Structure 1
Amino acid sequence: MSVPKFGFSAFLKIINANPRPQRTSIRKRCGPSTGGYDFHKSLRYRVQQVSFGGLSRAAALASTQQISREPERKSARQALQQFFRWKDEHPGEFETAAPLTFTSPAGLYKVEFTPDFLLQIDNRRTAVHLWNTKDPLDSRLVRAVLSSVASRYPIDDRPDDFAVLSLKDRTLYRWSDADRETRALGERLLALLDMQFTAARRELGLPASPDLEEPRTRA
């Protein structure tokens, strides 16, 4: 069985969760992947089209009518409106930035940081990941996790800053605002989740490492 991998929004969600739902989520990640539906894929696609594909704002908003699920359609439209308001306050040309995938210290899970765009903010080339989930974010925890991303990003063509933009309230959480203690917290959080994965695997009767699991055969 492969090592579980978190997208960055999913990782932020689990880091910001209370202990009980956090443990439940980790136990689920230890089982076979069920795929799941990406509720925010339609939003990210439209942001990419506006940022790099020449799609107008009006056309992007109008295209949300094509989203069949009403909650997803409403969420995407509201998020786009918030994104456009934020962009009006932060002029400049969008650029792309490469994603980063890294493995936890104990090798029990992976995290993928995928920037939705790169933009010059306060004279810093900033790689920005969009957050559009209703769950609240703790600013210190977000900056701590961004610190772990920044410390692992290849130095060649590395952005000057890394950030998460919440489209619920247009708050920008920036790695550059993290103090030394917060940056160290990022590594402790990674190790803490490793401990939780270890406990979950033990409770489920799984080998200590996903690499030691035997391939599962279907009946």
Structure 2
Amino acid sequence: MLKEFRVSFDEFVEDVYGYNFHEMDFDFDLSEIEVTEKEVSDAAAAYPNHNLARLRKSLQLVKHDNYVSSWLEEYKNAAIGLFKEKIKQDFSNLTGFFEAEANEIPIEGEIKVRFEPRPDCYEQIVFDNSDQLVALLINVMRGDGRFWFDSVEDFFEVNNHKEANEVIASHLFWLQKTESIYDTYYKLFRFDVQEALKYRSDMFGNFNYTLEDLEVYIARAATVLLIQGSND
């Protein structure tokens, strides 16, 4: 029997909370990015073979892109932090929630969740005791009324055509139904992260760049200016 369950953080959040980290869509109105005379002067000193119009456009482009990328990264990290807190809170609120008298599978102890970093990708969420998580899923499905499993063992037996980890992962979406089924006031597995961050988002992002960054954009600026000139 699988005792430890692991799932990628971004996949869990999408399945359970309905938020997709890979489809963050925001509008950025940066049409009037300020470029100072000092920035133009410094760029001209570093790249004397380019005219001022090209350098100014290069500065606008690099500041625009660096702001957008830094803003998205800071927003993502803030959202991850809030989701971590919410995930721990939601499972903590389920301690002692289910009772055998209510035709539910009691869950012994607190459902403990931890996060393990992975290189170059989202963390993993680790449940040390997968039976607790499966019992929770079974109770929610029983509450819904359309599916019934007698025990954790029965859950895996019915789904024995799949690997245990895959079986659990494919049923995680049931968690988001917990609140509506049990009519609780915890807002279990429900979270509007955009609402939570709306007063912090103005603090994200920066226009910082290096001369090495700028060099990449000088060729691009030449193309932009050429297109603009042809449209005039």
> Quick check: which has more Rg, 1 or 2?
2
TM-score computed with the length of structure 1 as normaliser: 0.22
- Normalized per residue, the structure richer in strand is 1
